[in-house]
Chains A and B, each alone.
Chain A
Amino acid sequence: MQISFTLNGRPTTMDVDPATLVAELLRERLNLTGTHIGCDTSQCGACVVHLDGLPVKSCTLLAPALDGATLVTIEGLQGAPGSNRLHPMQEAFRENHGLQCGFCTPGMVMTAVALARDKPGLTEAEVRHGLEGNICRCTGYQNIVLSVMAGADAMHAAKGE
């Protein structure tokens, strides 16, 4: 079947087998390998992308769901237009040592961006609840939580400017 969607701001049309997972489509046909597949059983969150603005697990999403939708992957995040900088959440992960091997990071960042956007003034408990579907094997989460709190503040500060 043919599907048309907006991928990181670009209109995209392609033919897909309906049994294709979005994670597969991104990595194998669109060469967007920033979206990781950690578990492939819907548990780890390494594959989180934004479908019409909402974080979802792309390993548990069939390609037909993209038709008519807007998809943003980790490659689609950016800092202020023209600034040539990372997204404030990405900056915060770098500044706060929020990653070690980096495998879980794209999913962590995508989940965190949605969490911070929906709720200004996040508490630590809200961050931990919001990250329940993202598993990290390296960091022990401490610095990830710090990063998300800092990134959330930076996102809201940037909005206020």
Chain B
Amino acid sequence: MKSFAYHQPGGIPEAAKLLSSVAESKLVAGGMTLIPTLKQRLAQPEALIDLSSLADLRGISDDGATITIGAMTPHAQVAASELVRGKIPALAALASMIGDPAVRNRGTIGGSVANNDPAADYPAGTLGLGATIVTNAREIAADAFFLGLFETALEAGEIITGIRFPVPLKAGYAKFKAPASRYALVGVFVAQLPAGVRVAVTGAGAGVFRVPPMEAALSNNFDASAIAAIKIDADGLTSDIHAEADYRAHLVTVMAKRAVGAALG
């Protein structure tokens, strides 16, 4: 690993100032994605800005119709949170399926959403629930946030401070794990909200995406049978050593049915 300068800002404004003023600087949250990247020299920043001492970025708050999870809240804390388990159990379940216990103790929701790995779990929960990504500068709807392979709407120098999730009527998440990495080969998050049903898919393509035909069918009849006959076009889906695109397309329907089952369970 190449050496770097290390900054530990005392507040969000200071972190933002460092990020925009220190050349070649990068934020580090849990480091579960960034540190492996540094070790492989896929990234060689001159400086790291560590968010870990910013207490304002940690914790989970109940705002009635929504829950806000601070960007630096680790996966394990979301999985164990009484509040999340009570109001959005599917999100707690999603967090409990990420990686392994050691990864869940360090990895954060902000890091996961900012990174937007095409097989990551939180992007599915965030898009599936129609959450809002809150940054130091503005609020961004999930629909406008995830732009494709590792790409997001974040501007240079922007810091995610938290994610605001609407409390759904019902929600479920089902993932077919890649056995070695435990990332999603295909993961589907289904949410029934007052405004309608949302279905978000991770792992299958270059980034998380919604499935409008399933959303329409489930809005009429929130039951797995309503989507059993809906097939996904394999065109543009990922083919790799783990699975071909047509198998991933097949898994989207299977996982979506299971997610509905989980939501009704």
A1 CA / B5 CA spacing, docked (Å): 10
Asked if B35 contacts A62 (CB within 8 A), the reply is: yes
Which residue in A45, A60, A65 is a CB contact (below 8 Å) of B32? A60
Minimal beta-carbon separation of B181 from chain A (angstroms):
8
Complex CA distance for A40 and B182, rounded to whole angstroms: 17
Cβ–Cβ contact A48 & B31, under 8 A: no
State how many angstroms separate the Cβ of B242 from the closest Cβ of chain A. Answer: 15
Pairwise interchain contact A42-B32, C-beta atoms closer than 8 A: yes
- In angstroms, Cα B105 to Cα A26, docked, is 20
Q: Are A60 and B4 in contact (CB under 8 A)?
A: no
**Interface pair B50/A64, CB less than 8 Å apart:** yes
Residues of chain A lying within 8 A (CB to CB) of residue B35: 21, 42, 60-62
Q: Is A25 an interface residue (CB 8 A)?
A: no
Interface residue B8 (Cβ < 8 Å from any Cβ of A): yes
| Least CB separation from A55: chain B residue | B102
Whether a CB of chain B sits under 8 angstroms from the CB of A122 is no
Taking the closest CB of chain A, its distance from the CB of B250, in whole angstroms, is 25
CA distance A17 to B5 in the complex (A): 9
Give the complex CA separation of A21 and B3 in angstroms. 11
Kindly name the residue among B36, B100, B181 whose own CB sees the greatest number of chain A CB atoms within 10 A.
Answer: B100
Contact B6 A42 (CB under 8 A): no
Instruction: Tell me the B67-96 residues at the A interface (CB within 8 Å).
Output: 76
Q: How far is the CA of A42 from the CA of B50 in the complex (A)?
A: 20
> If the complex has contacts A18-B48, A41-B36, A42-B32, are A56 and B4 also in contact, measured as CB distance less than 8 A?
no
If A19-B4, A41-B36, A132-B182 touch, whether A56 touches B105 (CB-CB below 8 Å) is yes
Q: How far does the Cβ of A73 sit from chain B's closest Cβ, in whole Å?
A: 14
A36 located at the interface, meaning its Cβ lies under 8 Å from any Cβ of chain B in the complex: no
Measuring CB to CB, which residues of chain B are less than 8 angstroms from any residue of chain A? 1-6, 8, 28, 31-32, 35-36, 38-39, 48, 50, 52, 76, 99-103, 105-106, 180-182
**19 residue pairs from A and B, CB less than 8 Å apart:** A18-B4, A19-B38, A21-B1, A42-B32, A45-B100, A45-B102, A54-B76, A55-B101, A56-B105, A56-B106, A57-B102, A57-B106, A60-B32, A61-B35, A62-B6, A65-B31, A65-B52, A115-B101, A132-B99
